[in-house]
Chains A and B, each alone.
Chain A
Amino acid sequence: MNVLQNVGIGSAINRVDGLQKVTGRARYAAEHPVPGLLHGVIVSGAIPKGRIVTLEDSEARAVPGVVEVLSHKNRPHVAWFDRSHKDMVAPPGSPFKALYDDKILFSGQPIALVIAESFEVARYAASLVRASYEVEPHNTDFHKAQAERFMPSKKRDTYHPPKNRGDADAAFAAAPVKVSAEYHLATEHHNPMEMHASTVVWEGDGSLTVFDKTQGPQNVRDYLAGVFGMSASTIRVMNPFVGGAFGSGLRPQYQVYLAVMAARMLQRSVRVVMTRQQMFTHGHRPEALQSVQLGAERDGTMTAIRNSATTSTSRYENNMEDVVIWGMMNYACENAAGEYAIAPVDTATSTDMRAPGAATGMTFFEMAVDELAYAAGIDPLEFRLKNYSETDQMNGTPFTSKALREAYAEGAEAFGWSRRSQAPRSMKEGRELVGWGVATGMWDAMFSKTSASARLSANGHLEVASAASDIGTGTYTVMTQAAADTLGLPVEQIAVRLGDSSLPKAPVEGGSWMAASVGAAVQLACRSVAEKLLSAAAKMQNSPLAGASMEAVRFSGGRIALRDDPARGVAITEVMRASGTDVIAVEETASAGISGMISQMRKSRNTHSAIFVEVRVDEELGVVRVTRVVNAVAAGRIINPKTARSQILGGVVMGISMALHEESMTDHRYGRFMNHNYAEYHVPVNADIHDIQVIFVDEPDPEVTPLGVKGLGEIGIVGTAAAVANAIFHATGKRVRALPITIDKLVDDTVAP
């Protein structure tokens, strides 16, 4: 390794946890070895609604090696009040409490936990538990649920209501060019590769160490403390490696509740891992219906936006998303009205899934914009540029930055958009129709108060730590680079600790705020170390740094040196030795600060993207291939172009998946998702994914967050599905307004090929 290699912010270093991942040494939630471990297997219920009449577990108990069968009949005490079961990101309502009573709220609900000395014994015994039910009427049909559509009086605290402007109804009525369309999104399940799992270590003194698959170890710790009436100081939740989550790990899932319940009852260590089938029995992206009506002048000037949506929630919690605001913010249009509500179905509560709200709402809005561009006879990219807004149109505020115009330009250039012919069905190669589509993506650039510690040892080794999570997002690498950037140390001398609730406070990993937030916290902590080092260095005998200010020095290559005269400086290890310091340890908290809070009130902060997609459609057979994607992203400063690119690639793949593949299919008679496995719930495989080019456009933005970083976890998916759908229209002349666009929706026997 080259010590002088630039590894700070902006450099494309390899993921620092890569070695552990490619050697199999990275341990995930179900992989921490514990002596005397018990294994719990969850028994899932069969009906969507009603009550358990009998639960017969004697056969299961008779299997040698079975230690206990937990159910509502014998579960230990948990907190009585709903508020004790609420986690940090819970929506309003009454949280689901596994094994609480005989009530069944959704199909696949856990009804028992079989705990045994081995996984195989528990699995076998679980198959012997029999339940009988009293069935109550249920509804899982979202279209029928529209009759129960409502706006809860208590809103989810992350919800932003649409703000209307002008007179959208009148403008729409008067518009010479208009489109009106209804769109539908099927329920999707996150399906991270790692199934939800918890290993609960019974420490003997009543305290617990919990290895959990979560996006927020402190959220899980506090949740468990509330549920089981424990002091948070007796619970340590660890998630050093998380095998993907995409939102499914924001809220504590029921396996951690069950594993902790069992561990406390039996005073033993317990592991509980969901099956892939059980991954369809908790949070999911809500099913959605969206109605978009757009009006324009004949020259393509947008004059009216009416954007209305409904998303699904459960009967017991009111999950809400920001679905309709995106298009209202993004486009210059004097008249805009948005309306949003939720509708309950008898499933588990829907939950945030990658770019919640925007992935749904911006996708459908951008499909409608494409329809309007065609109605006006204008190139869809030109149409978007014609209605471009420099400001947030809904909130009437400027953006801290918005380089979407540049993203359109650079994306179009790389894609070759200028060679496109406008008419649908006008491009063909061999048997295949070729379609080029464009769409816009938009997400929030958020910042969340986060703490980090830094600890520099005499040998120049630095450890930075925060209770953040790395769910594949690159947090380890981001923290390393923020530290390297500030203290000028080589990567090998920096250790990062995260995924541990005992570390300095951090928010859940979600919403794309982690890099900006924990990066800033690490930078602050390291800067504090740097100040202490400089002050010690200045006190050294004949110090070349005497009297030098922080601004006058540079930390680089393990040395502190004068910017103006880099030859004059001292090694960090020398400073530590000379000052007799064993360790410099600090903890700092990054918050928006007063100026940041004022800025947050006065300005909008968002990432933007322009997505260009090429599809090839075999029209006779309805087969779609996505052969090229260019995603040009304006997301402020990029900490690591390599890992950042991967995040966008992942978002694009999930967007293609949303457009073409993903759908949890429900049998409404049984109120049950039927394709609950990886063979019949389709996500793309390698053969589905071709060329994807990612462009980060230059977007300096010192105001948006302390590091100028905007975050990338969500923006890659937003709009991608719309670009695919728009490309399919361009190829075939067919508007498919229900996602996913499966083969059956493109094969239409009434039209001769």
Chain B
Amino acid sequence: MSDVAPISIAFAAMPITLTINGHERRLSVEPWVTLLDLLREREDLTGSKKGCDHGQCGACTVLVDGRRMNSCLKLAVSLDGASITTIEGLAEGDRLDPLQQAFMDHDAFQCGYCTPGQICSAKGLLNEGRARTRDEVREMMSGNLCRCGAYTNIVDAVMQVLESRGQIKEAAE
């Protein structure tokens, strides 16, 4: 280390504040804890899934300040002050997010393990507002693997919500 005192140094747990699904959480976290492991192992928010732990499958996708990201590649300590939305935070009470309902109606999953990541990713896609055709949805949902092969139903579900929000450019192919 340099001889100038660093701003904050931690070799063990350090305090951070995260807003998780609207609740402010003051946490003490070791620097090597990822956001995904923090959510799953310490906050009992197991909706975010570990499918690879290396940013290669998208099952861990959550919204960080409204943007979709792979929570497995984020150290929790680097997110101090951020607002995190997980699958558990999408519904308002019993009122499902339209994406959740659309996924059910289109049977856009089988085993369900990739589903929270798919839905959070789709939520991020809606926030971004850049996908307006089936081709664009396909491409912009390609960061979420589904080994059960529900892709066409996933696109149907996302298109339906885009349509209901008046965000599509053309009718389904």
Quick check: do A and B touch in the complex, using CB within 8 A? yes
Q: Residues on A close to B: CB < 8 A?
A: 14-15, 17-28, 30-31, 33, 118-120, 124, 191-195, 241-246, 273, 275-276, 471-474, 642-643, 645-647, 649-654, 677-679, 683-692
Q: With A23-B47, A119-B41, A472-B112 known to touch, is A683 a contact of B151 (CB < 8 Å)?
A: no
A646: contacting residue among B44, B105, B144, B150, CB under 8 A: B150
Cα distance, A5 to B101, chains bound together (Å): 19
| B173–A276 touching, CB < 8 Å | no
State whether the Cβ of B19 lies closer than 8 Å to any Cβ in chain A: no
Q: Can you identify 6 A-B contacts, CB atoms within 8 angstroms?
A: A193-B51, A193-B59, A193-B114, A243-B112, A677-B56, A687-B139
- Indicate if B68 sits at the interface (CB-CB under 8 A): no
Pick the contact of B100 from A22, A243, A685 — CB < 8 Å?
A22
- Whether A243 contacts B49 by the Cβ 8 Å rule is yes
Q: Scan residues 31-81 of chain B and give those whose CB is less than 8 A from a CB of chain A.
A: 32-33, 37, 40-41, 44-54, 56-57, 59
In the docked arrangement, what's the CA distance between A646 and B108, Å? 8
Closest 9 interchain pairs by CB? A24-B47, A653-B149, A243-B113, A472-B111, A21-B112, A472-B110, A24-B87, A650-B149, A678-B56
B32 to chain A, nearest CB (A): 5
A18/B154 in contact, CB under 8 A: no
Given contacts A244-B147, A275-B53, contact A649 B152 (CB under 8 A): yes
What residue of chain B has the Cβ atom nearest to residue A682's Cβ? B145
**A686-B56 in contact given A24-B87, A120-B32, A193-B147 (Cβ < 8 Å):** no
**Closest chain B residue to A190, Cβ basis:** B147
Question: Contact between B155 and A195 (Cβ–Cβ < 8 Å)?
Answer: no
- Encoded as 1 (CB less than 8 Å from any A CB) or 0, chain B from 83 to 119 comes to 0001110110000100011011101011111111001
Tell me the bound Cα distance from A23 to B30 in angstroms. 29
Q: Mark B130-169, 1 if CB is under 8 A from A, else 0.
A: 0000000111011111111111111100000000000000
The answer to whether B144 and A473 touch across the interface, beta carbons within 8 angstroms, is: no
Q: Across the interface, name the chain B residue whose C-beta is closest to A213.
A: B113
Cα A690 to Cα B156 in complex, Å, equals 11
The complex places the Cα of A656 from the Cα of B127 at a distance, in Å, of: 32
* Alpha-carbon distance between A562 and B81 when the two chains are bound, in angstroms: 66
Q: Which residues of A contact B115 (CB under 8 A)?
A: 21-22
Among candidates A26, A642, A647, residue contacting B112 with C-beta atoms closer than 8 Å:
A26
Contacts of A118 in B (CB 8 A): 41
Would A678 and B54 count as touching, CB distance under 8 A? yes
Q: Which of A15, A649, A654, A686 lies in contact with B141, CB distance below 8 A?
A: A686
- Whether A246 pairs with B112 at a CB distance below 8 angstroms is no
Contacting pair A194 B40 (CB below 8 A): no
- Least CB separation from A693: chain B residue: B152
A643, B151: Cβ atoms closer than 8 Å: no
Most buried by B among A14, A193, A241, A654: A193
For B151, what are the chain A residues with a Cβ–Cβ distance below 8 Å?
653, 684-686, 688-689
User: Closest CB of chain A to B112's CB: distance in Å?
Assistant: 3
Say whether B104 contacts A18, CB under 8 Å: yes
Cα-based distance from A275 to B52 in the complex (angstroms)? 7
Considering the chains assembled together, what is the distance between the CA atoms of A645 and B45 in angstroms? 31
> Which of A21, A25, A691 has the most B CB atoms < 10 Å from its CB?
A21
Assess A654 versus B149: contact at CB under 8 Å? Given A23-B88, A24-B87: yes
Contact A21-B109, Cβ < 8 Å, known A15-B104, A194-B49, A686-B154: yes
With A18-B103, A276-B56, A678-B145 given, can you name 12 additional A-B contacts, CB distance below 8 Å? A15-B109, A17-B112, A18-B112, A22-B101, A23-B90, A24-B88, A26-B112, A243-B114, A244-B148, A474-B110, A686-B141, A686-B155
Residues of A within 8 A of B30 (CB): 120
Q: Enumerate chain B residues within 8 angstroms of A245, measured Cβ to Cβ.
A: 111
Contact A649 B54, beta carbon cutoff 8 Å: no
**B116 engages A24 (CB within 8 Å):** yes
Determine whether the beta carbon of B54 is less than 8 Å from that of A677: yes
In the complex where A22-B100, A645-B107 touch, is A650 in contact with B56 (Cβ < 8 A)? no
- Whole-angstrom distance between the alpha carbons of A691 and B46 in the complex? 33
Contacts of A275 in B (CB 8 A): 53
Is B147 a contact of A22 with CB atoms below 8 Å? no
- Is A650's CB under 8 angstroms from B148's CB? yes
The distance from the CB of B128 to the nearest CB of chain A, in whole angstroms, is: 16
Say yes or no: A686 contacts B110, CB within 8 Å. Answer: no
Are A689 and B57 within 8 A (Cβ)?
Answer: no
Our pick among B91, B113, B119, B155 for the contact of A244 (Cβ within 8 Å) is B113
Q: Among the interface residues B90, B103, B115, B173, which one has the most CB atoms of the partner chain A within 10 A? A: B115
Set B37, B103, B105: member contacting A119, Cβ < 8 A:
B37
Q: Please, which residues of chain A bring their CB within 8 A of the CB of B137?
A: 686
B-chain residues with CB within 8 Å of residue A193 when the two chains form the complex: 49, 51, 57, 59, 111, 113-114, 145-148
Are B51 and A194 in touch, CB under 8 angstroms? yes
Which residue of chain B has the shortest Cβ distance to A694 in the bound complex?
A: B152
Complex: A692 Cα to B119 Cα, angstroms: 22
Beta-carbon contact of B53 and A192 below 8 Å: no
User: Chain B residues with Cβ under 8 A from A25's Cβ?
Assistant: 47, 88
